[in-house]
Structure formats: C-alpha cells, structure tokens
C-alpha cells in the first residue's frame, strides 16, 4: 500500500453511461474500496484530458496514471499492435476475445509493457462499419470519392484508399462538427459510439461492413504501477479484470439497443451481401504489411488459426 493516499487520474473518451464508462467507474470504486481509500482512481470522461494519441503519450510518461485505449491509435506507438488494425482480421468478437485472453494477448501486452504501458485487461469495441451522409454502401465502389474520417493510424488511410475513398485522420471529438459542416462525408465506428457521439443525427446511412473488430486495453502507466506494492497491484489487477467482464457484458447487451435507437431516429442500416468484395480490396494492404514486417507474419497466422 502506498504510504500516503494517492489519487490516480484516468483517461476515457466516452460519455457517462457508455459501457466502458460504467465499467471504468466500477473499476475506480472497487480499487478505492479494497485499498481502504489509499488509492483513489478517478476517471475523466469525454476525453477532457486530451485526445487519444496524446493521452496514450501522457500515460506512457506517467503524467496520467491509466486509461482505456483503443489499439488503433496505439499502432503508431507500439508497432506490433498494428496487426490488430488489419481489416477483417478477426471473424467475430468472440474470436477476438479468445485471442486476446490467451498467449497472443500476452504477446501484445508484453509489447505494450516495453513502451511503459501495463495492460491490466482487454475490453471489446464490437465491429466498426462505415456511415455517411449521402447513400448506403453496398459494394466497395460506393465509397468512391467519399471523405471519411479515420482514427490516427496509417493502416486506416490505406484501407479507405483501397476502397476509393479519401481518408482524413482526425480526433474523435472533431467528427460531429466536421460531419455537420460537410468537411467530411462520413466516418466508421461501432453502433454504441455512432449513437453516443450523435453522429447518427447527421450521417443517416450506416452500412454494416464490419471491417474492424478491434480490442481496447485498460492500461496503467508503468511508473504508477511500479510504485504500488504487490498486494495493491493484485487489487488493481482484479478490479481491472472485473471491469473487463462487466464491459463485455454491457457491450453485448447495449449494442442492439444502440442500433434500435439510431434506426428509430431515422438512420437507414443496411447489411452487406458480399463482404468478400471488400476483403479482396484489402489483400494488397496485407501483402505490403507482411513485406515491411516479416516478423509479424506468424502472429497474423496464429490469430487466424484461433477458432
Ligand atoms: C470508439 C473507441 C474509441 C475511439 C473512437 C474513435 O472506443 O477508443 O477513440 O471510437 O473512433 O469506438 O476515435
């Protein structure tokens, strides 16, 4: 236990009530309670402490103590995690959980640890799909000419380019206004984020490409982690594992509700009959990735072999 009561500051991009926000709050409460108030994590929602790439850096340096980070913007910092941003890598959210909960997830956690980020547990973020203000996407060519916001990772720029769109990396908080003013025509995300960010008010076409199933971590700054004694570390890790169990459950329950909410608000949701056409366009991205990272080929193979 730290000699003095300590306050930990944690980063979260989402608003109150979002599955991750609920789980993070419960994580914070469990830690405070089990350490008898010696360690008090506090979560700052809505990215008020900075946008995600900046918050990852702040956590690496110990300026922030913890955060819930998506593996997309993690790629430029921890190259191994770029594997997780390869479109259509995972075939289902459950497969992603099995991969991340096993040896392969540990390999990613080891890579993050080398960059001073301690992974305590893995959250889900469902499947991401494209949405836009103009028309439904049914085939790759329907993306031609659309200006689409992506998260900060060059692989997403390559992905949108390969589909004929124009990718614009931009922070999450800027997307709503940019959709509204026509700076962009669309973006891509899961139903809960599409809903909670209000992007659905402007972008009325959501097309279920489900091109990215990407994990998120509950990560602690290495310096904050190393300052804890072993018993406190155990408390924090258990609370983080409980938070992941809760987040995954709330996610599974909430995703259908968000879909219904946006449909009730007038969004046209369409399924994609031929996902193979989208997947085929991704082949050059895989080839180029493996050429520039031959050491990561076996990681991709191992993920694909996980049932
Ligand atoms: C959400 C993720 C969050 C990302 C956001 C985005 O949970 O980590 O920052 O998408 O698109 O679904 O930037």
Digit-coded pLDDT (tens) for 174-185: 999 999 999 999
87 phi and psi, to 5 degrees? Answer: -60, 140
Q: How high is the pLDDT of residue 4? A: 62
Do the domains at 6-124+215-258 and 128-212+266-304 have one common CATH topology?
yes
Average pLDDT, the chain: 97
Centre of ligand 1 from the C-alpha of residue 27, in Å: 20
From first CA to last CA, the distance across the chain in angstroms is: 41
**Ligand 1 site, residue 52, Cβ cutoff 6 A:** yes
* pTM for the model: 0.97
pLDDT tens readout for residues 26-51: 999 999 999 999 999 999 999 999 99
What's the CATH class of domain 6-124+215-258?
A: alpha beta
From CA 144, how far away is CA 137, in angstroms rounded?
10
Share of the chain above pLDDT 90, in %: 97
Confidence label for 247 from pLDDT (cuts 50, 70 and 90): very high
Residue 108 confidence (pLDDT) above 90: yes
Confidence label for 227 from pLDDT (cuts 50, 70 and 90): very high
Q: How high is the pLDDT of residue 2? A: 46
pLDDT tens readout for residues 265-289: 999 999 999 999 999 999 999 999 9
Neighbours of 77 (CB within 10 A): 16
pLDDT tens readout for residues 75-105: 999 999 999 999 999 999 999 999 999 999 9
**Ligand 1 site, residue 151, Cβ cutoff 6 A:** yes
Centre of ligand 1 from the C-alpha of residue 229, in Å: 33
From CA 218, how far away is CA 196, in angstroms rounded?
20
Residue 153 confidence (pLDDT) above 70: yes
Contacts of 112 (CB under 8 A, 6+ apart): 74, 78, 81, 118, 119, 217, 219
Handedness of CA 214, 217, 223, 229 (dihedral sign): negative
**Ligand 1 site, residue 178, Cβ cutoff 6 A:** no
Neighbours of 268 (CB within 10 A): 13
Q: How high is the pLDDT of residue 1? A: 47
Cα distances from 110 to residues 62, 155, 241, 258, in angstroms, run 18, 22, 17, 34
Q: Quick one: which atom of ligand 1 is closest to the CA of 20?
A: 7
Compute the average pLDDT of residues 121-134.
98
Share of the chain above pLDDT 70, in %: 99
Residue 142 confidence (pLDDT) above 70: yes
Compute the average pLDDT of residues 154-162.
98
Q: How high is the pLDDT of residue 5? A: 78
Q: Quick one: which atom of ligand 1 is closest to the CA of 192?
A: 12
Confidence label for 6 from pLDDT (cuts 50, 70 and 90): confident
- Please say whether the beta carbons of 23 and 243 come within 8 A: yes
Q: Quick one: which atom of ligand 1 is closest to the CA of 151?
A: 13
User: Can you give the residue ranges of every domain in the chain?
Assistant: 6-124+215-258, 128-212+266-304
Please give the CATH number for the structural domain made up of 128-212+266-304. Answer: 3.40.190.170
pLDDT tens readout for residues 51-73: 999 999 999 999 999 999 999 99
């Amino acid at each position: 236990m730290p000699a003095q009561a300590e306050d930990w500051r944690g980063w979260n991009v989402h608003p109150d009530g979002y599955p991750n926000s609920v789980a993070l709050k419960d994580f914070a409460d469990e830690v405070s309670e089990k350490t008898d108030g010696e360690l008090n994590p506090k979560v700052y929602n809505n990215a008020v402490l900075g946008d995600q790439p900046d918050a990852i850096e702040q956590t690496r340096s110990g300026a922030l103590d913890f955060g819930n980070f998506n593996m997309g913007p993690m790629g430029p910092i921890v190259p191994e995690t770029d594997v997780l941003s390869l479109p259509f890598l995972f075939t289902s959210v459950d497969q992603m959980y099995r991969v991340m909960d096993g040896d392969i997830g540990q390999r990613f956690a080891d890579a993050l640890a080398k960059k001073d980020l301690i992974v305590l547990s893995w959250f889900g973020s469902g499947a991401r799909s494209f949405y836009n203000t103009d028309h439904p996407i049914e085939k790759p060519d329907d993306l031609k000419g659309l200006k689409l916001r992506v998260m900060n990772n060059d692989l997403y720029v390559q992905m949108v380019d390969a589909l004929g769109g124009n990718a614009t990396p931009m922070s999450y908080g800027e997307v709503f206004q940019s959709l509204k003013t026509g700076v962009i025509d669309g973006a891509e995300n899961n139903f809960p984020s599409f809903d909670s960010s209000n992007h659905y008010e402007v972008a009325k076409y959501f097309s279920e490409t489900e091109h990215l199933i990407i994990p998120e971590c509950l990560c602690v700054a290495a310096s904050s982690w190393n300052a804890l004694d072993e018993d406190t570390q155990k408390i924090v890790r258990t609370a983080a594992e409980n938070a992941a169990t809760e987040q995954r459950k709330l996610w599974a329950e909430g995703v259908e509700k968000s879909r219904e909410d946006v449909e009730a608000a007038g969004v046209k949701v369409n399924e994609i009959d031929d996902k193979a056409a989208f997947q085929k366009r991704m082949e050059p991205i895989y080839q180029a990735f493996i050429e520039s990272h031959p050491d990561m080929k076996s990681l991709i193979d191992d993920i694909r072999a996980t049932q």
